Structure 1
Amino acid sequence: MTDDDDRATGGAYASPPCFMHELQPGFAAPDSDPQARADIMRWRKAERQRLIEARLAVPAAERSAMAGAIATHLDAAIGDPAGRRLSLYWPFRGEPDLRAFAAGFMRRGGTLALPVVVEKAAPLVFRDWRPGMKLEKGVWNIPVPPAAPAVIPDIVISPVVGFDPANYRLGYGGGFFDRTLAALPARPTVIGVGYAAAAIATIYPQPHDIAMDFIVTEAGRAGQ
């Protein structure tokens, strides 16, 4: 959610972003090669900025229509919500707004949660959420439920800045979702959501990156 991975490079780079075309799509920089990792993090930062600017340039009405199509595809992919807990997200920087979808999920017997950043470089916690609940400002002023016992979702919907054919997600760079998925006692179904225009050839996945189970865009289910 922030650019923490970029700060790991110390701000010094020996290669320009065009170095990336020399790497294989599945390249993962080994821990022993800090320069390769620095180049990948620099490329990710530039790609992240490009993709966010592109989606913010899409008219709000068009983004709303695409969010409606994403919701339809999510309904088909998830199936009956009864007795299942879904973690969503509060829309941020042009992300698909799925709050109406969440309300429908709850009306049909499901329960909801929102992810909350509790501290830097730590896993997220999931808190119970219901549409209309009074929220408070969290990190980056994103609304979050008031402090309450953590819950464990059955399904996690994670917004993507970009995604590749292997279902790897380019996020905001904080690594929160990867840490969270690694720390959960049981892995939920993890669905990345974003716009079809966010598809890229590869994010150059690193050892800490965790692939989504699948990706949903306004065009339907994407990836493997």
Structure 2
Amino acid sequence: MSGRGTYASPPCMAADVDPAYVDPFGVDPEQAHDVARWRRAERARLAGLRERLGRAGRAQVSDRIGQHLERVLGDRGVRRGCVLSGYWPIKGEPDLRPALAGLHRAGVTIALPVVETRAAPLVFRRWTPGTKVVRGDWNIPVPPPEADVLTPDIALAPCLGWDGACFRLGWGGGYFDLTLAVLVPRPVTIGVALSGARLHTIFPQPHDIPLDLILTEDGVAATRTGI
């Protein structure tokens, strides 16, 4: 759906702003601090995993994930007019912009998440390969303010790490979870990750919301029960 939103939030990068970030919703403060410390260490390790792939390796992974994404969307009956939220790749994330451009040509409406207001759900602005992007928070390219605001039917979420229950380890802000908590209807959520970034668990906290499936360079790696 199109319209004008009134709120948005950063794309899960609060840990870059506040390295001491601790989940405020944790039931046990000591346990929450332990999980926060563990997650910070894992983020550093997993970011290094991406870096060691090198530019060529990351390009190959991105291409393979893009091919799997097109098959997954085809299997789910995604067609002209569906709204899919992608993302602008940062910090070695898989670059799915070529796949998004192909979906746009096939008639799928593409949106990107944008920060309009801190500490609030994300807003999704319409994007096309010809959109002249502007610099948003953390200098991330985003569609301009005049772009239509959309409600996604499907949302892609880049993952630093992931587990078999489809929980996602992101950059630490929890904003994607905050957005999912208020989107009605909730979109189908697809985590985009490296196969080697699988964790036994992310030690989910009360604010963590599982995704519907995890997609890696090897294909669908995990699916939430009942999806």
What is the TM-score when the length of structure 2 is the normalising length? 0.86
8 A Cα contact 2:21 2:172, kept in partner: no
Query: Which whole-Å deviations, capped at 9, do the CAs of 1:38-64 have from their partners, x for residues lacking one?
Result: 000110011011101110121211111
Q: Aligned letter for 2:46?
A: L
2: CA distance, partners of 1:9 / 1:210? 17
- CA shift for structure 1 position 9: 4.3
| Residue of structure 2 equivalent to 1:62 | 57
After superposition, the Cα gap between the structure-2 partners of 1:30 and 1:92, relative to the gap in structure 1 and judged at 3 Å, is: closer
Q: Aligned letter for 1:75?
A: E
Q: Aligned letter for 2:180?
A: L
- CA shift for structure 1 position 176: 1.1
2: CA distance, partners of 1:195 / 1:8? 25
2: CA distance, partners of 1:9 / 1:97? 29
1: CA distance, partners of 2:107 / 2:21? 43
Larger Rg: 1
Q: Aligned letter for 1:161?
A: L
1:190 has 2:185 as partner: no
1:181 has 2:176 as partner: no
8 A Cα contact 1:87 1:157, kept in partner: yes
2: CA distance, partners of 1:158 / 1:96? 11
| Residue of structure 2 equivalent to 1:24 | none
After superposition, the Cα gap between the structure-2 partners of 1:202 and 1:195, relative to the gap in structure 1 and judged at 3 Å, is: same
8 A Cα contact 1:113 1:129, kept in partner: yes
8 A Cα contact 2:195 2:218, kept in partner: yes
After superposition, the Cα gap between the structure-2 partners of 1:162 and 1:146, relative to the gap in structure 1 and judged at 3 Å, is: same
What is the TM-score when the length of structure 1 is the normalising length? 0.87
1:142 has 2:140 as partner: yes
Q: Which runs of 5+ in 2 are unaligned?
A: 1-11
Q: Aligned letter for 1:110?
A: V
- CA shift for structure 1 position 201: 0.7
Runs of 4+ with >4 A deviation: none
| Residue of structure 1 equivalent to 2:152 | 153
Query: Which whole-Å deviations, capped at 9, do the CAs of 1:78-133 have from their partners, x for residues lacking one?
Result: 11431211100000000000000001001111110000122322111000111121
Q: Which runs of 5+ in 1 are unaligned?
A: 11-28
Q: Aligned letter for 1:162?
A: G
1:90 has 2:88 as partner: yes
2: CA distance, partners of 1:134 / 1:108? 21
- CA shift for structure 1 position 150: 1.9
8 A Cα contact 1:163 1:199, kept in partner: yes
Count residues in correspondence.
205
